[in-house]
Every structure is written in structure tokens, then in C-alpha cells.
DNA sequence: GTCGACATGTAAATTGTTACATGATTTA
DNA sequence: TAAATCATGTAACAATTTACATGTCGAC
């Protein structure tokens, strides 16, 4: 592993929130709408082993138990923080929006409110830029596109507009939250 | 290749709409918000070769040109039709919504209006079921979730609701379209 | 006492990423 | 004529899917 994958971060984020077994992580991916990551054992267990080798997670020592409960190490927490604070690039809006939402979802407790608002503010700006470019494209090409293609494209625009509205709501919610 | 991947279908759909070079396919993935598939040469060219080996696409014979322009074969078109008509499963809503939209985007000309409306109707039903389960979860867990997790979850609900609204609009548009 | 859920893993095959490599053609 | 874009590919590596494999534990 050169750089952790999106799945690695998702697992690390979960284990940072509360220590748990690989099986629990799998179930979290399977049952909750968390991203849309694979929950197959062939993906999760090797990923946890990778994280362990890099000392980003470790087993909790529960002497009288056979279960393997993993938790984030200090190093793992630091890596998560870096991930949270990494500047948002415009191309991530189009291809990794899910991961951006995941970043936000795990930010709790690990970085302060001001930095969370920074993240949301930056997300908002990049969304606005991207939506503008989509609308520009739509304006110039809607007549040439086949009807289904045009509709599918319009779905994209609506989706990003929904995310933008959510972003504004989230900024308000975080602003008004107790510290 | 046992079964074509999502990327394979995306390429096949593009080549079915209009014959073009591998490079053009790459640019389509790079520039348009098409799915969010990889446009790297190491993904596209091998994929086109796979499709060729299965006789789903073929080179157009342009004698006086060095360019390789690919088009969908009859067999490829049949496979696309099968893909379009495959029943929508509930788990696809959570994990492969993108692919469902792609299916709809390529349906033009290949299946008739009635079947397109079938697809949209089924999509609508599955979205309603899925949204209901998300809201149920939200109702039972919103107080225990950390604030960021709750907000991220709410983003998911809003997104699916937007898709549902789009679905209703698309049904109207297709219903009223000229045959 | 059997069934389903809990729990952890491995192996083979496939797929995709990253980086490199090459050459033609167009445009400033 | 230099730079950018068009155009096609390969090689090494990393990651994921699918399928198999095994065993425990609690409920009915």
C-alpha cells in the first residue's frame, strides 16, 4: 500500500469512532448506506491487516476473549486528521463526492468546528463552480443530446444542487452547534 | 471476463451510440460527468480488447486510415438490450445508482417507450422502498448518531429523494415524447 | 440438535492504477 | 519548429471479487 485507499480510510474512520471487530466493520458496510464500499471478507480482512502493518490500527488487548477488536492508533488518528484537512480539489466533486461526504461524516471530535466549517465552505465553492460548468455544458448541448442522455445529465445537475443545498444547511447546523 | 463490468457496458453503450476511437472514449469519460469511470489508458484499451475478443465490438473497416474506429456488433447490441431490461434489484439503489442512470441514458433507440417507462416505474418503486427504510433508520437512530454522521446520513436521504423526483419528471417527459 | 448469525480467513482470477513509452498530427 | 493534443499501448503492482473453507455461539 503506497497510499491508503478510500476503503482504508473508511475502516480507519469506523475504528476510530469505536473499536470493533472486522466482522462489525463488514456489517456496517453491508447494512448502512456507508459510502457503498465492499463488505466482502476478501476486501475487509486484508485491508485491516494492511492497516495493522502500517501501525494505523491495533488489537485491543482483551485477555479473556478470542475476538479481535481493533482500534485506531495515535498514528492512525493523525492520518485521519490529515485526510480531513486535505484541500478539496474540483475533480473530487465529480468523481469522489462520496469520499468527501465520508470525510465530513467522520470529522466529529477530531477537528474543531472552525476547520469543519472550512471544509464545508470549500465544498460549497467547488460545488458551485462544478454546477456552473455543468449548466454551461447543458445550455450548449441539450439540443444535440438524445432525450435519455439529456435526462440523465439533468439528474446529475439536480444531484449536485441537492448536495449544495445540503452543504448550506450543514454550515448552519455546525455553526449553531454547541462546542 | 465472465460477465462484462460496468465499464464494459459504458464503453459498449458509447460505441453503440456512435462508432469512435478508444481515445474518444477516454475523453468522453474524462470530460463528461459520465458515471465516473476511469479514463486511464490502462483501463480503456484492455477493456476494448476484451469486448473485441467477445465479438461485442468490432473495427470499422476504413481502408485508407490508420485510426481504429470501433462500433458495436449485433451481438453487442443484443447484450446491451439485455442489460437495459434486467430487473432492478433493491440493493442496486444503494450501491449502483450510477449504473442504473447509465442504463437509462443509453436506452434511446434500442428499446421502446413502454419498456423505458417500465424501467423508470420500477426504479421509482425501488427508490420509494429504499427511502422509506432510510427514514425509518433515521427516526430510530438520529439521537444516537454524532452530529456529522447524522448530517451525512441526511445527505443520503436528500439525494435519493432528488432522484425520485427526477424519476417522476422523466416518466412524464418520456410519456409525452414523440414516438 | 439444527439453523442462522457470528467470526475470520485464503486462493485464483480479474480488474484497475500508475507510470512509462512511442509516434503522428495539429496549432501557435 | 516547438508545444500541445491526438492516439495506442505495455508492465509492474495493488486491490477487489468470487468462491471456498472452517469453526463458534445462541436461539428455537
pLDDT per residue as tens digits for the range A48-80: 999 999 999 999 977 656 689 999 999 999 999
**Mean of the pLDDT values across residues A127-154?**
94
Q: What percent of chain B has pLDDT over 70?
A: 97
Whether the CB-CB separation of A22 and A67 falls below 8 Å is answered with no
Write out pLDDT tens, residues B63-84: 656 689 999 999 999 999 999 9
Above 80 in pLDDT, residue A8?
yes
Q: Could you give the CA distance from residue B39 to residue B45 in angstroms, rounded to a whole number?
A: 10
Write out pLDDT tens, residues A13-31: 999 999 999 999 999 999 8
A128: phi then psi, degrees, rounded to nearest 5: -60, -45
Write out pLDDT tens, residues B20-47: 999 999 999 998 878 789 899 999 999 9
Q: What is the pLDDT of residue A179?
A: 65
Contacts of B147 in chain A (CB under 8 A): 108, 173-174, 177
pTM of the model: 0.94
Residues with CB under 7 A from strand C: A 21-24, 26-27, 41-42, 45-46, 48-49, 67-68; B 1-2, 5-7, 38, 40-43, 46-47, 50, 66
Whether the CB-CB separation of B7 and B43 falls below 8 Å is answered with yes
Rounded to a whole number of angstroms, the distance from the CA of B151 to the nearest CA of chain A is 7
Residue B179 contacts A, CB cutoff 8 Å:
no
Supply the DSSP symbol for A20: B
For chain A, domains (ranges, CATH) are 1-85 (1.10.10.10), 87-179 (1.20.58)
Q: Could you give the CA distance from residue A4 to residue A1 in angstroms, rounded to a whole number?
A: 6
Beta pairing class for A57-59 and A70-72: antiparallel
| CA distance to A25, A93, B17, B35, B142, per residue, from B30 (Å) | 33, 13, 18, 10, 38
Task: Check A151 against B134: CB less than 8 A apart.
Answer: no
Amino acid at each position: 500500500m503506497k497510499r491508503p485507499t478510500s476503503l482504508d480510510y473508511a475502516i480507519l474512520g469506523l475504528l476510530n469512532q469505536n473499536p470493533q471487530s472486522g466482522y462489525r466493520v463488514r456489517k456496517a458496510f453491508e447494512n448502512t448506506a456507508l459510502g457503498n464500499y465492499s463488505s466482502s471478507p476478501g476486501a475487509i480482512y486484508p485491508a485491516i491487516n494492511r492497516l495493522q502493518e502500517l501501525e494505523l490500527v491495533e488489537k485491543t488487548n482483551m485477555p479473556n476473549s478470542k475476538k479481535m477488536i481493533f482500534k485506531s492508533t495515535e498514528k492512525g488518528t493523525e492520518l485521519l486528521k490529515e485526510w480531513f484537512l486535505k484541500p478539496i480539489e474540483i475533480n473530487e466533486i465529480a468523481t469522489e463526492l462520496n469520499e468527501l461526504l465520508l470525510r465530513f461524516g467522520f470529522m466529529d471530535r477530531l477537528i474543531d468546528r472552525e476547520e469543519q466549517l472550512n471544509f464545508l465552505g470549500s465544498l460549497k465553492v467547488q460545488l458551485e463552480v462544478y454546477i456552473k460548468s455543468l449548466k454551461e455544458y447543458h445550455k450548449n448541448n441539450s439540443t444535440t443530446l438524445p432525450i435519455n442522455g439529456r435526462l440523465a445529465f439533468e439528474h446529475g445537475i439536480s444531484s449536485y444542487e441537492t448536495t449544495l443545498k445540503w452543504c448550506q444547511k450543514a454550515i448552519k447546523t455546525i455553526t449553531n452547534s454547541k462546542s
